[in-house]
Amino acid sequence: MAAEPNSASSIPASTWSDRFEEGLNPAIERFNASIGFDIALLQQDIDGSVAHARMLGSCGVISEQEASQLIGGLETVRSEAAAGQFNPGLEAEDVHFAVEHRLIELLGPLGKKLHTGRSRNDQVGTDVRLWLRGQIDAIDAALIRYERALLSQAETHRSTLIPGYTHLQRAQPVCLAHHLLAYIEMAERDRCRLADVRGRVNICPLGAAALAGTPVPIDRRQTASELGFAEIYANSLDAVSDRDFAVEFMAAASLVLVHLSRLSEEVILWASEEFGFIGLTDRCATGSSLMPQKKNPDVPELVRGKSGRVFGHLVGLLTMIKGLPLAYNKDFQEDKEALFDGVRTCLDCLEAMAILFEEGLEFRPQRLEAAVAADFSNATDVADYLVAKGVPFREAYQLVGGLVKSSLAEGLLLKDLRLDRWKELHPSFEADIYAAIAPRQVVAARRSEGGTGFEQVDQQLQRMRSRLAC
């Protein structure tokens, strides 16, 4: 246990059996190695190896004392890594060999017993699942923070109106809180999808060995239980070759980025002079190197752009596995960089969007109120007014369509028409038409469950407040 800290030069020139007489071509060695990125799995690799060593001791494959020594050696490697003293080089090839070589340095021949009853194939599958399980939990926490940021804005603007659009054309006014709650609903679906994916990530392949299991009398369920897995793979071939969970995760992450990108596009539009619905604070915006008046929406633009990275990783993973025969293939090495970058991008974008809504933008209620009062988005409510008077909807629809046409030609809004003009259109109109088409009443009237009416929005806010415990 008194060995010197690990260095690249201490790793043997060949990690393979005596079947091989020559070392790899240096270029192929670089091409083949994954230590440059899979070192990120170091803690998971040590966790898996500790559980494996303890199981070997419990099953009598090695003595309890040997198991204890192996675990002690692994914890030494963990401590060295924490102190910045574990720095394997290219010769290690991957994190699994790097840990094993260091263990042999520390314990001598005993270190060579750790790999009994397992292969790198089931080992790497276990490490990746342990890592991704934790990252899914981190993304869920990031989604909650993002939802709470939206919810806080929604609470503040529960009575603020905003134009509602279809085809990016003014349609009907809605409550701003209702608009923001739509994105919270999307995020809640993201959380459900990720939780579902986590269930399939949380299945343990350890003990499947290279592809066919092992004659060593191991207890797969003991290691799975110690590592917090809910179940073990029932088929050893499937255990080492399954990367469905990686694809499923990237698909779920892609939808997270789709939703962030959609909201980003709206923020970018809202921040423009043409819309002017929000102002950007100095905390989340930059200027132009040439034009001093500019304040650019960098955060939503970057999120919108970064979404393509995650989509690309999804396509890359699908392409990587689509033609692979059973069981393990070196192609699977390509899953890690995609997963690492996909997770990092997802977390970064969620954090950035949460900060944007926490402190990076300010809605402009007066500008929003003016916007909903200056269009024909209350035309449907004129038709609904006539329907309430017994006029068939299609007839009312045609009458109002003609009225909008003539009003546009005259440069008038519906609220500006005299009562006699309304009565010329249909005798059912009375003075209460003005109250019925006022924007706030138009919104309040949408009382159907899930609608934008203020009472419905209050119920939606309460439901989300309870769900997010805030």
Positions marked active-site: 167, 288
User: Is 216 in contact with 119 (CB distance < 8 Å)?
Assistant: no
Buried b (16+ CB within 10 A) or exposed e, 297-335: bbbbeebbebbebbbebbebbeebbeeeeebbeeebbbb
Who contacts 371 (Cβ-Cβ below 8 Å, separation ≥6)? 162, 163, 277
* DSSP one-letter string for 236-271: HHHHHH--HHHHHHHHHHHHHHHHHHHHHHHHHHHT
1: nearest Cα among 100, 80, 76, 94: 76
Contact indicator for 203, 233 with CB cutoff of 8 Å: yes
CA terminus-to-terminus distance, the chain: 51
Which residues are bridge partners to 279 per DSSP? 362
Q: How far is CA 310 from CA 12, 194, 395, in A?
A: 38, 15, 50
Beta strand 361-363 with 161-166 is unpaired
Kindly state the tokens that stand for 176.
């701003």
Q: Are the beta carbons of 136 and 194 closer than 8 angstroms? A: yes
Beta bridge partners of 170: 165
Long-range contacts of 39-42 (CB under 8 A, 24+ apart): 39/88, 39/95, 39/98, 40/131, 40/336, 40/340, 41/95, 41/124, 41/127, 41/128, 41/131, 41/336, 42/81, 42/86, 42/95, 42/99
Are the beta carbons of 88 and 98 closer than 8 angstroms? Answer: yes
CA distance 45 to 213: 20
The number of helix segments (H) and strand segments (E) in the chain equals 19, 6
> Can you tell me whether residue 175 is helix, strand or coil?
strand
Where does 83-226 have alpha helices with state H? 95-107, 120-156, 176-201, 220-226
In angstroms, the CA 246 to CA 460 distance is 34
**Tokens read off for 156:** 């503040």
Whether cis (ω within 30° of 0) applies to the bond prior to 252 is no
